[in-house]
Structure 1
């Protein structure tokens, strides 16, 4: 009989609940511990979710001393770096919620520690498991649009600003860019095959979050709620990026891939003021091309699936742990995402284009 995969949970907030729900669907997984720095919070989480075999810890380092095959890190963004470094140094495989880190340097050091420890670091970008997202990447990677020279990624909510830890820089590190913008960037970079970013010219602002007319915690709001950037990628590709938690507009536009042979327009799935971002599924796919010298376009049907993308992310992590496979969504890939976000903030602060230097 195969022994169970022993999992620990670090951080017991709302996102941890989703991890637990996914793990509990797998017969080969046992959640053996939960850690949270808030006194009694881990024990309350264990009781609420009936994790009868799990032990509660207020120090994640004590949890990491236990026999574990992997950990889910579900802490506030600013603690992603140290908690991940500790887990990898302790010889544990890591499934880390996005964003990967607050700074580019932190991401680099996390990947280096993963290589040094021989343990995987997988980052939680569950939209990659959407069948339509996978189709888009495969279709473009197969050369059906020709050479890609321009990509435009949108993603914005008319109203959709979170509260609590999301809006405080000392806990979140960043706002809309870290919360939803990273999904747009991953859609573009993953589809393109992860080209390196070279330069960024960008701006960020927070006109809505700091206004009590639009946010109940305006006095505590000190992150960005909007960002836009022009990014040069290797291979002669231009990437236009924009994201918003709130705006006076219905949409920031579709995602577009322009190729030398054809183009593709993609819209996100969902309706309402909190929709319009790439943290979920695909709404429409349309190919623009020529037939016999005539301009035409072809709607590509989307697959409507019952897949829970979050569950698929966790299952893939467990599968990789159980079979000694590489990280499903590696830190090496997400470093490029983090490099762009880092460049956006530097460019906005300096008011000019900045270079992106990767190790």
Structure 2
């Protein structure tokens, strides 16, 4: 594990020094030709990449065509499992060569959080679109840098917000937009689980950038925004740590945080690595309510409103996400809830503010 951490940290360090290329414009706002699919390379072949790859077997608009990994045995295995040609296989040292590969449109980055920034800069410099897992970066400064790099390279930056395409979630947003809940008063987001292996990268400050807030709490942050339809003005937060050995300095175990919105609505949220059975969103308005439980897991999502049970069919989140992202990148489709870098930057600014509120014990203004 120690050698793997060193290896990943070396990747992050070397990723920062590569220059940008001058690239021609991309026709990303035109309708794709009949039958055109988004050709995807996955970077970082861990458990979530496997989930995405399996889900993409059912996609009609996106196809897995390439891989990037620091482990040769994984590349060999993926070649066999997903029929990936050798010409589309890269490691962390040579993946800049994708600039010369016309058979890859986008790279989906699923590596540890600390690597997202440098790897995004390199992919953008190679002239490929980027899909980055959340959190997009370790902080808002890195996130803004990633957005600027992709704009400079004239490529698009999307973030893996799969819940933005989930049918029951979208139905609640539709109901809110149509005024069925009336004035929104309150949101509650509870996100957490008891984390296992104490040596995993999620509990390594240098690779994760934090603890539960970076991994699971971001769902409550993002959910508070898309469920209320507002951007918060202020945040307060409190941290609880019962195991300072497992959750060492800079790795949060449990954080409770509160958000205030322009309309007067408030949010009360919890993020934890020390409690199971926490995956619930609740939205309350003057005329009615909505509840999702589970709210952000891989599914099926279950929910109800004051009008009854939500019955939209379950679809594999990553299948829907990748087909929708194909439409965004190839056809210029605008999703109901944004999934671009600017959307992710808003979450990062709130994360920064939450950590500041924990440190200072004071309300932090976001305006």
Give the TM-score, by structure 1 length: 0.80
- 1:199-348 equivalences in 2 (<5 Å): 199-208=234-243, 210=244, 218=246, 223-247=251-275, 251=278, 254-259=280-285, 261-269=286-294, 280-287=299-306, 298=307, 300-303=308-311, 305-325=313-333, 329-348=339-358
Q: Aligned Cα RMSD in Å?
A: 2.9
1:75-109 deviation digits (Å, cap 9, x = unpaired) = 11111112112222332222211111110111222
Relative to structure 1, is the Cα distance of residues 281 and 23 closer, same or farther in structure 2, using a 3 angstrom cutoff?
A: closer
Relative to structure 1, is the Cα distance of residues 5 and 127 closer, same or farther in structure 2, using a 3 angstrom cutoff?
A: closer
1: CA distance, partners of 2:99 / 2:152: 17
1:315-334 deviation digits (Å, cap 9, x = unpaired) = 11123233244576122222
2: CA distance, partners of 1:106 / 1:54: 31
More strand by share: 1
1:225 positional shift: 2.2
1:344 positional shift: 0.9
Relative to structure 1, is the Cα distance of residues 239 and 317 closer, same or farther in structure 2, using a 3 angstrom cutoff?
A: same
State the match for 1:106 in structure 2: 142
Relative to structure 1, is the Cα distance of residues 112 and 196 closer, same or farther in structure 2, using a 3 angstrom cutoff?
A: farther
3-state SS of 1:114 partner:
helix
Asked if residue 132 in structure 1 is aligned to residue 165 in structure 2, the reply is no
Relative to structure 1, is the Cα distance of residues 312 and 266 closer, same or farther in structure 2, using a 3 angstrom cutoff?
A: same
Relative to structure 1, is the Cα distance of residues 155 and 30 closer, same or farther in structure 2, using a 3 angstrom cutoff?
A: closer
3-state SS of 1:197 partner:
coil
1:3 positional shift: 5.4
1: CA distance, partners of 2:144 / 2:342: 8
3-state SS of 1:174 partner:
coil
Relative to structure 1, is the Cα distance of residues 34 and 255 closer, same or farther in structure 2, using a 3 angstrom cutoff?
A: closer
1:65 positional shift: 4.1
Relative to structure 1, is the Cα distance of residues 319 and 284 closer, same or farther in structure 2, using a 3 angstrom cutoff?
A: closer
Relative to structure 1, is the Cα distance of residues 29 and 196 closer, same or farther in structure 2, using a 3 angstrom cutoff?
A: closer
Tell me if structure 1 keeps the 8 A contact 2:143–2:341. yes
Relative to structure 1, is the Cα distance of residues 85 and 206 closer, same or farther in structure 2, using a 3 angstrom cutoff?
A: farther
3-state SS of 1:78 partner:
helix
Q: 2:84 aligns with which of 47, 51, 54?
A: 51
- 1:167-206 equivalences in 2 (<5 Å): 167-193=203-229, 195-206=230-241
Relative to structure 1, is the Cα distance of residues 280 and 102 closer, same or farther in structure 2, using a 3 angstrom cutoff?
A: farther
State the match for 2:97 in structure 1: 62
State the match for 2:44 in structure 1: 11
Relative to structure 1, is the Cα distance of residues 231 and 219 closer, same or farther in structure 2, using a 3 angstrom cutoff?
A: closer
3-state SS of 2:233 partner:
strand
2: CA distance, partners of 1:20 / 1:197: 35
Tell me if structure 2 keeps the 8 A contact 1:264–1:286. yes
1:302 positional shift: 1.9
Give the TM-score, by structure 2 length: 0.78
Gaps (5+ residues) in structure 2? Answer: 1-33
1:129 positional shift: 2.4
Tell me if structure 1 keeps the 8 A contact 2:195–2:274. yes
Tell me if structure 1 keeps the 8 A contact 2:60–2:323. no
Relative to structure 1, is the Cα distance of residues 237 and 21 closer, same or farther in structure 2, using a 3 angstrom cutoff?
A: same
